[in-house]
């Protein structure tokens, strides 16, 4: 009896403690931690707001991980995954941007079925929190640590082993979206290429067979060149990688001692000089070139119709001479062997446009993947 009575008192005591906790703790939270807690809740809530579909539970292993959900956008026959990484108080992705993205995908002739394992994430790099993960239909993917190039270039393509790729777009570079997104979509296409198709691409772009597909130097990475070619084919924005037809970066329209249109680096100058000799036999120098022997006439000369015609003919020769083009690409790919060619900066750059056979090649790949 005595034991039972004690038990009852203990129960009352425990009840009072629990009741006290129920009243005291919420009070403390509401006073001391209100701002902080509401901020955290808001943050997660905002991330949930970006979702239309929730793919399973957010069973993250790291306790401080935060899941970024994807929204499935359905627009004019296109269906794609979209997400954002931003501050809690940032507005969700608006309809204009959704329409803009759809338009870019459409203009890039991008095969609809390839959108099923791809997401586009708009990123504010300042708002990334540690251990953040993207919740995708194929499982969670870690948000990569972006390097400073992302701030200027504005895009990154990540292929993940679970066969789900993510295109990250820098929200602060959204004005470059057309070029950036088309380039990144090109990376998703390039992942589907067969070895035969890569060999054909190398040939079309005058890339030496032994050049590794992925290189640290963006400008001479064939994989990046494919994305740039894809971009140019659908946006006409210039190719920035150093393949295809290379032209001299050091053009000198005319000099005191005569004329020079391409100032060739020392390594390829013998080839260029021999071409020039042949060219001069077939194309007499314009009168305006012969009479201009001081700096004051160079500007009007450069704009004269006679000179432009002459210059165009010379460019045709240098563009299509395989020996000269091979020499130039060799210098570009093996900078360490030809330091004297790089004294005035990178001696050659891409002509910036893609020729018709390469555009046709891209079209054929898309047809195959459609
Ligand atoms: Zn790229």
Q: Hey, is 279 helix, strand or coil? A: helix
Which tens digits make up the pLDDT trace of 312-360? 888 888 889 999 999 999 999 999 999 999 998 999 999 999 999 999 9
155-158 vs 165-170, strand pairing mode: antiparallel
How far apart are the CA of 197 and the centre of ligand 1, in A? 19
Output the CA 177–ligand 1 centroid distance in Å.
13
Question: Ligand 1 center to residue 155 CA distance, Å?
Answer: 7
**Confidence (pLDDT) at 30:** 44
For residue 227, the CA-to-ligand 1 centroid distance in Å is 6
Is the model's pLDDT at 276 over the cut of 60? yes
- pLDDT interval class at 287 (50, 70, 90): confident
Cα(173) to centroid(ligand 1), Å: 15
Q: For the segment 232-249, what is each residue's pLDDT rounded down to a tens digit?
A: 999 999 999 999 999 988
Q: Which residues surround ligand 1, an ion (CB under 5 A)?
A: 224, 227
CA atoms within 13 A of residue 230's CA, in its CB half-sphere? 29
Q: How many CB atoms are closer than 10 A to CB 196? A: 8
Measured distance CA(106)–CA(138) in Å, rounded: 25
Quote the CA–CA distance of 246 and 5 in Å, as a whole number: 97
How much distance in Å is there from the Cα of 214 to the middle of ligand 1? 10
What separation in Å is there between the alpha carbon of 187 and the centre of ligand 1? 7
Sign of CA dihedral 235, 70, 85, 226: negative
Report the distance separating Cα 348 and Cα 350, nearest Å. Answer: 7
Whether the model clears a pTM of 0.85, i.e. scores above it, the answer is: no
Centre of ligand 1 from the C-alpha of residue 190, in Å: 11
Q: Which residues pair with 258 in a beta bridge?
A: 255
Q: Which of 42, 55, 100 is nearest to 75 (CA)?
A: 100
CA 229 – ligand 1 centroid, Å: 11
In tens, the pLDDT along 149-201 reads: 999 989 999 999 889 999 999 999 999 999 999 999 999 999 999 999 999 99
Distance of CA 254 to the CA centre of its chain: 38
d(CA 173, CA 216): 23
Domain chopping of the chain, boundaries:
55-192, 246-350
What whole-number distance in Å separates Cα of residue 7 and Cα of residue 11? 6
Residue-wise pLDDT tens digits, 17-44 = 665 566 555 444 444 444 343 333 333 3
pLDDT in tens, 39-89: 333 333 333 333 333 343 333 333 345 689 999 999 999 999 999 999 989
């Amino acid at each position: 009896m005595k034991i039972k009575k004690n038990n009852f008192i203990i129960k009352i005591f425990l009840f009072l403690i629990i009741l006290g906790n129920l009243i005291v703790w919420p009070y403390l939270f509401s006073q001391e931690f209100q701002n902080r807690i509401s901020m955290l809740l808001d943050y997660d809530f905002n991330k949930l707001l970006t979702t239309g579909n929730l793919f399973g539970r957010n069973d993250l292993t790291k306790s401080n991980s935060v899941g970024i959900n994807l929204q499935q956008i359905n627009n004019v026959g296109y269906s794609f995954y979209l997400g954002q990484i931003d501050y809690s108080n940032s507005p969700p992705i608006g309809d204009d941007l959704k329409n803009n993205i759809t338009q870019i995908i459409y203009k890039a002739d991008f095969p609809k079925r390839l959108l099923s394992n791809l997401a586009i994430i708009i990123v504010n790099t300042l708002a990334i929190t540690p251990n953040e993960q993207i919740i995708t239909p194929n499982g969670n993917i870690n948000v990569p640590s972006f390097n400073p190039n992302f701030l200027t270039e504005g895009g990154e393509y990540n292929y993940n082993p679970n066969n789900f790729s993510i295109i990250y777009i820098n929200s602060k570079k959204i004005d470059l979206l057309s070029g950036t997104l088309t380039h990144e979509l090109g990376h998703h296409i390039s992942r589907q290429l067969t070895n035969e198709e890569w060999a054909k691409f190398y040939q079309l772009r005058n890339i030496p067979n032994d050049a590794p597909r992925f290189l640290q130097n963006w400008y001479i990475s064939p994989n990046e060149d494919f994305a740039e070619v894809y971009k140019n084919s659908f946006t006409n924005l210039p190719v920035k990688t150093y393949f295809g037809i290379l032209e001299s970066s050091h053009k000198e329209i005319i000099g005191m001692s005569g004329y020079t249109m391409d100032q060739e680096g020392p390594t390829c100058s013998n080839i260029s000089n021999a071409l020039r000799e042949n060219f001069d036999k077939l194309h007499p120098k314009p009168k305006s070139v012969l009479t201009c022997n001081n700096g004051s006439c160079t500007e009007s000369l450069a704009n004269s119709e006679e000179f432009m015609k002459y210059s165009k003919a010379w460019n045709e020769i240098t563009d299509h001479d395989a020996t000269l083009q091979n020499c130039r690409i060799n210098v570009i790919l093996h900078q360490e062997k030809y330091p004297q060619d790089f004294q005035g900066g990178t001696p050659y750059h891409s002509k910036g446009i893609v020729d018709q056979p390469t555009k046709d090649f891209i079209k054929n790949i898309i047809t195959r993947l459609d």
